[in-house]
Chain A
Amino acid sequence: MEPEVYRQMGLTDTEFEKIKEILGRAPNYVEVGLFAVMWSEHCGYKHSRPVLQLLPTEAPWVLQGPGENAGIIDIGDGQAVVFKIESHNHPSAIEPFQGAATGVGGIVRDIFAMGARPIAILDSLRFGPLDDPRNRYLMQGVVAGIAFYGNCLGLPTVAGEVYFDPSYSGNPLVNAMAVGIIDQKDIRRGHAAGVGNAAMLVGARTGRDGIHGATFASEELGEASEERRPSVQVGDPFREKLLIEACLDIIKEDLIIGMQDMGAAGLTSSSCEMAARAGTGMEIDVALVPRREEGMTAYEVLLSESQERMLLVPKQGAEARIKAICQHWGLEAVIIGRVTGDGFLRIKEGGQVVAAVPARALTDQCPVYQVERRLPFYLDDLQNRDLSRLPEPADYGQVLRRLLASPNLASKEWVYRQYDYMVRTDTVAGPGGDAAVLRVKGTGKGLALTVDGNGRYSYLDPEAGGAIAVAEAARNLSCVGARPLGITDCLNFGNPEKPEVAWQFYQAVTGMSRACRVLQTPVTGGNVSFYNETEGEAIYPTPVVGMVGLIPDIEKRCGMGWGQEGDVLILVGVTLPEIGGSEYLAVVHGLVAGRPPSLNLEREAAVQETVRQAIASGLVTAAHDCAEGGLAVALAESALAGTVGAVVELAGDLRPDYLLFSESQSRVVLAVPPAARERVLALAREKGVPAAVIGRCGGEQLIVKINGCPMFNLGRGEMEQIWRQSIPALMAR
């Protein structure tokens, strides 16, 4: 075989040699294709696997950690929550609408592959600045695509995040998370156990969609990728809705051993992964696969990424019943092969064997690369920039207005009003709060969901950025009264073969890992997206954390809006002079520099514990964490989310801009009725957490004074106007 052939598919010479060694012979063309996709970065995790080992994955309540289609966490009463996040960055850069839509479709399939009923979607998005029409086009398409797919499925998209930064121009990030719920007895895993059992393909016909999509996702975007782009997959949410119902009926009747969706690398990955997990083999006849197009080769059928397909391993004798259920839902179900005992993935076309490789060679023997890690040269200079000599703003009201208008902080309603976030009638708190809250019908419980990440922090210090992503997600859950239980993460980075990116990646995972341990939120799964670069420029390293929490009694939940005149505002936590990496620094001083805020995880845990206990004891009427934009923006957000303003009196010897806009971690503003004030302060003392009364709710204005000196006085109406109109106005350009 000419080296060009396998190189074109993305394999290196040494990888090719290793394949020959494994097989004891030269692979044929189809086999090279199998190895090429399965050993791609996207499927093989060859640059991330050793580093991911650093993440804690266990806790008594974790029923399924990484390695399956999705993670599972026990929520009591025999129920569990199933969740996972995934990136669809590259497809969305090429075709934003379909790219984002099929991203949603894929992650939802991971949830019901475990046997769970999908109940919600979250999305984490990054674009370049909206003054560039290309970025507006991308955002418009991505949001419409998510809406198209999620709404049609009848799944509420309940939370998410959107940030804008030039580093994402040309390489937007589209991470979608799905959440499901399951009775623990119904849990199925992607195992092809039981030699002789059938392998069934259910759902859409196979076309030439996205052949080599996985390889494509493992390359940098550039001129050439325009040419080499695989034919884009088009999503059919209607079919997926039918697929969900059919698969759940099949689970309910206990007809299968395992199932798996066909995502990246399609039939190839689903078959070899299911076999490898069970220690079995699989034999598949591609001639039996229903096609959408004529003249497809075995190679194309194996690598097609046509959407809305599942691979099922039925219990013996259940095939006919499965077909009947599928027929009821208007879906095709076809036996395409069977489970074998020899550990081989054997592909036939008609009677003829066209490929035969050990299944585990594809999944477990993918080479792993330890790239030298090197501190990026930009860091030293950026981190040590002297920020103390920046001029103080003259008009703090104006600064707050500018921050509220900054697309990173402005209302994301333009996005989420396109999402049906209410369908299923479980959304008790939808987008707009610190975390979404879903009730679990038939119980008194609530689930809290959030997704968080700050690429700017990670750029300036990936270790801190990784840790803060976890801490902030947990804090958001704590603010609604939920106990954080576990995370799923999406690690979006540049080219991992570059030592600087390798360093960023390692650092970020280290930071996440540290935070996960202290906050007791193990990692149950996730996704790595490398090669997010355009013309050699990497995006900000962007670890994104999706987190699930539990509210034992949903009546004891909390929102962030102030609603009660006379409530006392208590700031839990302390403000430090930390404007590095802040939105204030970027918006007002045009700088992305300094060190991100420090994070003391023990303090963080204590603050969150205080907040949760105060909420659970019914002492709190509103809670909101201080995140991007600092205390001033947090106060404004609570005023806007509720119905009253406040008068706030801060004291201290920090510069006013630091006091107002520093993004120090581990801070939460609580609104409490006057009668609860002492109990909350006592609770904080007991937990060893600093807490201070900073003001009182009331009126239509947000008035903030420092050491008695008025800083700003803005009306809720004016702030709301600025905050709500910012993104719609930019998008209307």
Chain B
Amino acid sequence: MKFGVIVFPGSNCDQDVYHAIGSVLCQPIDSLWHGATDVSGYDCLVLPGGFSYGDYLRAGAIARFAPIMPAVIDFARAGGLVLGICNGFQILLEAGLLPGAMRRNDCLQFRCQWTYLKVENNTTPFTGRFHAGQVLRVPIAHGEGNYYADAETLAELERKHQVVFRYCTPTGEVTPAANPNGSVGNIAGIINQEGNILGLMPHPERCAEEILGGTDGRELFASLVDWWQRGDCLGA
């Protein structure tokens, strides 16, 4: 399965994704410079974390217009697998590939910490290795992860099981205290209706090896590889 990780000016988790997929999962992966306009030949595109364009104005706002983005959007609309992590998630929101928007964390500070995530939907290409309701331990590191969607959008997200991860307690309760940033509905990650574009604030690439304190993130990437190897077809 061939991955491409997109490098925007200011991306800083691209190498981490590269390592997790390339060295830990041993899958082929290329770095794709934001100035490229062709993404053909890839099975999955990853938009990594970082501070694209310094996150100035709004996180992801300027990156959304990078030269590579039309190709990414076409790829995504054609059903290609797209994973946006942290800043990558913010870019997907700005690009309109996922609904909603990010605000500053309600504590108004950057937060780097381990969080617990409840798997709300394990039928996506990204979560096949998890069981429904499983609690994962994955770190976050962001200042603008306070997810917002209006009531209507939210209801639709819920109805269509597009909320994939929610912040929860270690035992899986979705409580305000377990919410590190003020996101509506404790939302940590969502998927599009077609099920091929996932955005999440937590960093799976930071917990893909035992030495880093956990391997739940590896399972997310491994789920993708499983899915691809099974040749499952989206939207079928």
Contacts and interface: CB of A to CB of B under 8 A. Distances in A.
A239 B208 CA distance: 30
A401 interface: no
Contacts of A151: 51, 110, 112, 141, 143
Contacts of A425: 16, 19-20, 205-206, 208-209, 212
Contacts of B54: 152, 236-239
A125 B163 CA distance: 41
Given A151-B141, A423-B13, A238 B56 contact: yes
Interface string A159-187: 00000000000000000000000000000
Interface string A128-154: 000000000000000010011001111
Interface string B94-112: 0000000000000001111
B51 A238 contact: yes
Interface in B51-78: 51, 53-56
B113 interface: yes
B19 A421 contact: no
B50 interface: yes
Q: How large is the interface on A (under 10, 10 to 19, 20 to 34, 35 or more residues)?
A: 20 to 34
Contact of A420 (B9, B19, B110): B110
Contacts of A441: 19, 23
B203 interface: yes
A330 B50 CA distance: 17
Interface residues of B, number: 31
Nearest to B33: A328
Contact of A422 (B109, B110, B141, B143): B141
A564 interface: no
Contacts of A18: none
A422 B203 contact: yes
Interface in A398-429: 416-425, 427-428
A641 B16 CA distance: 27
A724 interface: no
Interface in B15-37: 15-16, 19-20, 23
B112 A418 contact: yes
Contacts of B20: 425
A554 interface: yes
B112 to A, nearest CB: 5
A329 interface: yes
A475 interface: no
A676 to B, nearest CB: 23
A348 interface: no
Contacts of B208: 425
Instruction: Count chain B CB atoms within 10 A of each CB in A154, A424, A427, A428 and give the residue with the most.
Output: A154
B139 interface: yes
A420 B50 contact: no
Contact of B10 (A144, A241, A420, A554): A241
A144 B10 CA distance: 19
Interface in B116-145: 139, 141, 143
A428 B211 contact: yes
A298 interface: no
A152 B143 CA distance: 11
A733 B12 CA distance: 35
Given A147-B110, A236-B54, A418-B110, A424 B212 contact: no
Interface of B: 9-10, 12-13, 15-16, 19-20, 23, 49-51, 53-56, 109-113, 139, 141, 143, 203, 205-206, 208-209, 211-212
Nearest 9 interchain pairs by C-beta: A154-B12, A238-B54, A420-B141, A152-B51, A425-B16, A420-B112, A418-B110, A147-B110, A422-B206
15 contacts: A147-B109, A147-B110, A151-B143, A152-B12, A154-B12, A154-B51, A237-B54, A241-B12, A242-B10, A418-B110, A420-B141, A422-B212, A423-B206, A425-B208, A428-B212
Given A148-B110, A238-B10, A418-B112, 13 more contacts: A144-B110, A154-B51, A237-B54, A238-B56, A418-B110, A420-B110, A420-B112, A420-B141, A422-B203, A424-B16, A425-B209, A425-B212, A554-B211
